[in-house]
Structure 1
């Protein structure tokens, strides 16, 4: 057998490999995209939580967006002000302070205040329970089921189930939004953390039906709307909704709400005591 019949194909294939490799190398140099070195610096300054709370696919996505000018330097809710300051220095801009936000559960229907249709026995998971008749055991179809899907989704231990409903610790919450996505009832919302006034209800049923299933549900009476001096709260679809661009957290709506649906109630100032009547002037002693 002629050995060249084996050598020639090997050499041919090897030669083609060299040619194609060289071509790919040249193409790589011609079409390569230079990465902004700031991306790596920003990525190093970020906390690396990859929670998605910034609205981008992880810290890498946010770093690229910041470097390209498509996201603010304070776009990371986890890193906070310290992280924003570092990134601002990298980008050569001043990091403006932003109002912190935190998750808020729009339901106050605890075990004593909200009725149940039936007692649920099953997996402690809201997404499983909501598949059952009526959307779970709670009589209010909008109410928190309290089975902890949001708690499991939170990587920062910021949610606890207390008396049948989810409660958020705003000091631990980083506004990553995982609990918002995990809740099948869609009753968790990211709201300004500094604002004390919030509507702790999600029901859009008419008032009569709300009162039958929950003692702390919004009945759409519009008392809050009528008493707000800043036009910051309106009843929409049978539910009070706050415009936080207008809200001054005065607490008037919370104090006026007959069902205690709105948080941020202000203490009633003590009644002032009526002024004492002045004692009648003593008659001047008669001259002897």
Structure 2
């Protein structure tokens, strides 16, 4: 009996040694080399795993950075330039320049601008509502207001305004992670460059219906008239499918398109208030006053020159006597 137990123990031990040797050889032969810089890059990343960089999480972005020959086009929207500088230092590369971006809601169909024609009582999800019908208003392109963008935002940067029913983005908190863009089933949220001094001009509408139909559905909808495109001196505006779009890379923020838009569909953000324009009648009156004042001044000048200063005349002796 003792011999049988001893044989069993030895047999099991021998099998374990053989299997361990096989596993060791297999681990060495099929080992996948991982660059130690991956861990170093991952440490400096914010670990938000938002996917805004275009890769599946921070680990995927770290691996892509290590394997890349250049960091041009690589950007961590959450960490920004500071994080990219650290990554460049680790990898011995130059940090690629990337314009900061911010999420922009391209719909101004507020409760006042876009009247409701029905009521939705289903699940409060834009994705579900969009799969069922066009929405509570006559505009089938506009915001549904259920707040899927708010739910997916990890940075508390977007909220639904209870008065307008439209989501609003907090520029200070937005990291341009792209989560809200992907969550919106109507594709009304777009990432645009922040712009100089945080100033931006964009068309706040995505309605592609014909002009009369779009105007009837929303008071501030784009009707595709093309006046803005004809006015823009930089060819930054194009009209496609009866909808105007402003290229942020060509736009110089002259705001001429804002002035000529008959629907008020073009939005200007963070610009100083415009100076009040003088009406034509008031301008002519002011010009006449200026002209009259200048004439009076010109007439008075020679008179002033001809006036001689009074000089005390010497008193004659005869008069003294």
The question of a shared fold, defined as TM-score above 0.5 by the shorter chain, is answered with: yes
- 1:98 pairs with 2:116: no
Counterpart secondary structure, 1:40: helix
Superposed CA offset, 1:126-159 (max 9, x none): 2232243x32212200010112111111111111
- Map of 2:299 onto structure 1: 281
The match for 1:242 among 234, 241, 246 is 246
Q: Which residue of 1 aligns with 2:226?
A: 222
Partner of 1:45: 44
Q: What residue is the counterpart of 1:261 in the other structure?
A: 265
Aligned position for 1:81 = 81
Structure 1 residue 14, shift from structure 2 partner: 4.0
- 2:81 pairs with 1:63: no
Segments of structure 2 that go 5 or more residues without pairing to the other structure are: 308-321
Q: Deviations over 1:40-63 (max 9, x none)?
A: 111010111111111111110011
Residue number in structure 2 paired with 1:155: 154
**Range with bigger deviation, 85-94 or 224-233:** 85-94
User: Which deviates more from structure 2 when the two are superposed, residues 24-33 or residues 103-112?
Assistant: 24-33
Write out per-residue CA displacement over residues 144-179 of structure 1, whole angstroms, 9 at most, x where no aligned residue. Answer: 011211111111111111111111112211111111
**d(CA) in 1 for partners of 2:54, 2:136:** 33
For structure 1, the 5+ residue unaligned runs are: none
Q: Is residue 142–residue 203 contact of structure 1 (8 Å, CA) maintained in 2?
A: yes
Contact 2:70 2:93 in 1 (8 A): no
> Which structure would you say has the larger Rg?
2
* Compared CA separation, residues 91 and 2, structure 1 to 2 (3 A): closer
2:110–2:165 contact (8 Å) kept in structure 1: yes
Distance 1:268 1:225, change over 3 A: farther
> Against the structure 1 CA distance between its residues 8 and 117, is the aligned structure 2 distance closer, same or farther, given a 3 Å change threshold?
farther
For residue 181 of structure 2, give the secondary structure of its aligned residue in structure 1.
helix
In the superposition, relative to structure 1, how do residues 70 and 185 fare at CA in structure 2: closer, same or farther (>3 Å)?
A: farther
Greater displacement, 273-282 / 139-148:
273-282
- Tell me the SS of whatever aligns to 2:18: helix
How far apart in 1 are the matches of 2:84 and 2:225? 43
User: Once structures 1 and 2 are overlaid, which stretch shifts more, 198-207 or 26-35?
Assistant: 26-35
Q: Following TM superposition, by how much is the alpha carbon of 1:3 offset from its aligned partner in structure 2, in angstroms?
A: 5.3
Query: Contact 1:115 / 1:140 at 8 angstroms: preserved in 2?
Result: no
Q: CA RMSD in A?
A: 2.5
How far apart, in 1, do the equivalents of 2:84 and 2:150 lie? 28
Q: Secondary structure at the match of 1:129?
A: helix
CA contact (8 A) 2:75 2:98 kept: no
Aligned match of 1:171 = 172
Q: TM-score, normalised by structure 2?
A: 0.80
Mapping of 1:112-191 within 5 angstroms? 112-132=112-132, 134-162=133-161, 163-191=164-192
Note the C-alpha offset of 1:33.
3.0
In proportion to residue count, which structure has more helix? 2
Moved more, 64-73 or 78-87: 64-73
Provide the C-alpha distance between the structure 2 equivalents of 1:210 and 1:268, rounded to a whole number of angstroms: 31
How much has 1:93 moved relative to structure 2? 2.5
Alignment check: 8 A CA contact 1:62 1:71 kept = no
